[in-house]
Amino acid sequence: MNRPRMSPRCSTSHPFDVIAQTPVRAKALCLDTPTELLEREPEPGEWPAAYGIGHLFDVDVVCGFRWRLVATEDDPVYPRR
């Protein structure tokens, strides 16, 4: 399988490597950060850091199927209802 090209404006890391390392990096950052800081709203109505990190994991669950489909199929087709 060919490795996808990255935009010149993005990291030089392979996208699959970045996706694989995201949970590891998020965990490392959270372990060193007090819970109170992770749960504090930076401004009224803005998400605390913990919400943003949780959102990343939600997106992985929701979009993971699509990412795997594109990564493993020669001609990926998203199933229709």
Query: pLDDT averaged over the chain?
Result: 81
Look at residue 44 and tell me if it is in a domain: yes
61 vs 39, residue with greater confidence:
39
Give pLDDT, residue 43.
95
Domain total in the chain: 1
Look at residue 61 and tell me if it is in a domain: yes
Going by C-alpha positions, the residue among 35, 60, 39, 34 that lies closest to residue 49 is 39
Look at residue 15 and tell me if it is in a domain: no
Going by C-alpha positions, the residue among 76, 55, 58 that lies closest to residue 66 is 76
pTM (2 d.p.) = 0.58
Look at residue 55 and tell me if it is in a domain: yes
Which residue has tokens 């993971």?
A: 64
Cβ neighbors of 3 (< 8 A, separation 6 or more) are: 14
Look at residue 27 and tell me if it is in a domain: no
Look at residue 74 and tell me if it is in a domain: yes
Domain span including residue 52: 33-81
Look at residue 54 and tell me if it is in a domain: yes
Look at residue 14 and tell me if it is in a domain: no
Q: Which tokens is 80 given?
A: 């229709």
39 neighbors 48 (Cβ within 8 angstroms)? yes
